Amino acid sequence: MQKAAEILISKGVDERIVKPPICRALWLCGVAVRPYIYIQHFKSATCYFLAMSITWGGIMRLTSWPSWTFSNIMASIGFGLFMTLFNRWFYHRSIKKVDLPDWADLMIEVQKSEQAEQVVAPDS
């Protein structure tokens, strides 16, 4: 997956989009996760919405909210929705700037580059 990310960066996709911190952490743990821009939009938006709502709500509850009220919960949901819409807009704008290859085509390109590296540097 890191090889696919390197190819996307060489094509001009912003590194912040291709290698967000969560993907880098998962790759270091050995989990094969597609770069963020290739995850289904609904799935990634839902995860981002939940993460932002819960994180912001938790921080607000610990720092300034005396208790969970309906308005506090709605504020947390509203913040998560706003951040998710902004995130989707940012990624959509960034992806439109670049001619993004299909995932299958990118995997073929990764295999070709790995084969070329094996030919250049054969194992002893």
On whether both 53 and 67 belong to a single domain, the answer is yes
Instruction: Count how many Cα atoms sit within 13 Å of the Cα of residue 82 in the half-sphere of its side chain.
Output: 7
What pLDDT score does 120 carry?
Answer: 65
Q: pTM here?
A: 0.66
Residue 110 counted as domain residue: no
Span 9-14, average pLDDT? 80
Residue 21 counted as domain residue: yes
Label residue 63 by pLDDT band (50, 70, 90).
Answer: very high
73: its two tokens:
């919960």
Span 42-46, average pLDDT? 84
Residue 79 counted as domain residue: yes
Each residue of 108-122: b (16+ CB within 10 Å) or e? Answer: ebbeeeeeeeeeeee
C-alpha distance from residue 70 to each of 46, 53, 65, 67 (Å): 21, 14, 12, 10
Q: State which residues form the domain around 3.
A: 1-39
C-alpha distance from residue 118 to each of 4, 7, 113 (Å): 17, 17, 9
Give the whole-number percent of the chain exceeding pLDDT 70: 95
Span 71-85, average pLDDT? 94
On whether both 45 and 100 belong to a single domain, the answer is yes
Q: How many domains does the chain have?
A: 2
Burial (CB < 10 A; 0-12, 13-18, 19+), residue 88, is: middle
Span 100-116, average pLDDT? 81
What pLDDT score does 27 carry?
Answer: 82
What pLDDT score does 62 carry?
Answer: 94
